[in-house]
Amino acid sequence: GIAPVHLEYFKSLGGIADAKAEIFEGVEPGGAAVLNRDSEHFDRLAKKAAAAKIKVVSFGGHEKADARLIQCALQPGSSTVHANILGTEAKYKIGAPGRHLVVNSLAVLAAAVLAGADLAISALALANLAPPSGRGTHVPLVLPGGAALLIDESYNANPISMRAALALLGQAQIGPRGRRIAVLGDMLELGDQADALHRELAGPVVDNTVDLVFCCGPAMHALWDALPSGRRGGYAENSKGLESQVIEAVRAGDAIMVKGSNGSKMAPIVKALQRAYTRAPEGASIQD
């Protein structure tokens, strides 16, 4: 996908698209490029693929997509999908949550069919999909009075993946007194657009009913300033300074999502929460 990532090194999203299109030069004539039909850069990429004499196969929700999403149902831990893959309808389950994975699955199945794989078997395999460590892993926490859910998204972050993670947090189930809590570190390498791209996350925070936001890092201060006062959990200059604030704030029934660029070092917060809350306190019981 073409996203506002590494803008520190490129002048525009178009520049990122052109850089990614360089991969077409290594594809043999008669090969295929699987491109997102919903992207505003689709035509740009399709022209470059055609110039390299390779076939374009598109995916997405667009009515002209070759691998087209017909309908999907998003659940907290999975998704069910109805799609048309290169002329054949398929219904399947994805074993990890998120609309972004639904869209990605269209590309995966299109590529599988192009490679000669059986569509039905390939679609069935998606039910076994599980997020790798730091990319949406669900970790149960045990607190006095009940359980909480930790969503570990600490591996990396950019404006697109951050919005996707906030959407997943919005779908997470919480307890009767539970809250949705986002713990966010800087998105790096965004150049002179960094302040604006961090500030704009305030919209998805509100849209996804995130109750509290903890921020760390100089770039995340732009989001902190843009947040409604009632949604501010805490701010620190770095992730180490945020650890104790988050640990003290968490309570039974909460869903806590931790995310930031690798350089913002959010994984230690995940580990700190696990150390604090993976053993049942004396007299505690887990409540669904």
Residue 39 backbone dihedrals phi, psi, to 5 degrees: -75, 140
> Which of 131-140, 201-210, 218-227 is least confident?
131-140
pLDDT tens digits, one per residue of 127-145: 999 888 898 999 999 999 9
Structural domain containing residue 29:
13-128
Contact status, residue 250 vs residue 148, Cβ threshold 8 Å: yes
**66 and 118 co-located in one domain:** yes
Q: Is residue 221 part of a domain?
A: yes
Residue type, 218: P
**115 and 177 co-located in one domain:** no
Looking up residue 271, the CATH number of its domain turns out to be: 3.90.190.20
| Number of domains, the chain | 2
Domain boundary among 101, 128, 155: 128
Contact status, residue 84 vs residue 107, Cβ threshold 8 Å: no
Mean pLDDT of 262-273: 96
pLDDT at residue number 283: 43
92 beta partners: 81
pLDDT at residue number 14: 65
Domain boundary among 102, 128, 154: 128
**143 and 106 co-located in one domain:** no
pLDDT at 281 over 50: no
Q: List Cβ neighbours of 172 (8 Å cut-off, separation of 6 or more).
A: 76, 149, 151, 180, 255, 257
Helix axes 13-21, 42-51, angle to 10 degrees: 30
Looking up residue 46, the CATH number of its domain turns out to be: 3.40.1190.10
Mean pLDDT of 184-206: 95
Positive or negative: CA dihedral 140, 143, 146, 150: negative
Domain boundary among 128, 156, 171: 128
CA torsion, ordered 134, 166, 190, 246, to nearest 10 deg: -70
Query: For residues 63 and 68, what is the distance between their CA atoms, to the nearest angstrom?
Result: 7
Query: What is the CA angle 10-202-135, rounded to 5?
Result: 65
User: What is the model's pTM?
Assistant: 0.79
15 — pLDDT class (breaks 50, 70, 90): low
Q: List Cβ neighbours of 140 (8 Å cut-off, separation of 6 or more).
A: 147, 148, 149, 150, 278, 286
Share of the chain above pLDDT 90, in %: 77
**266 and 145 co-located in one domain:** yes
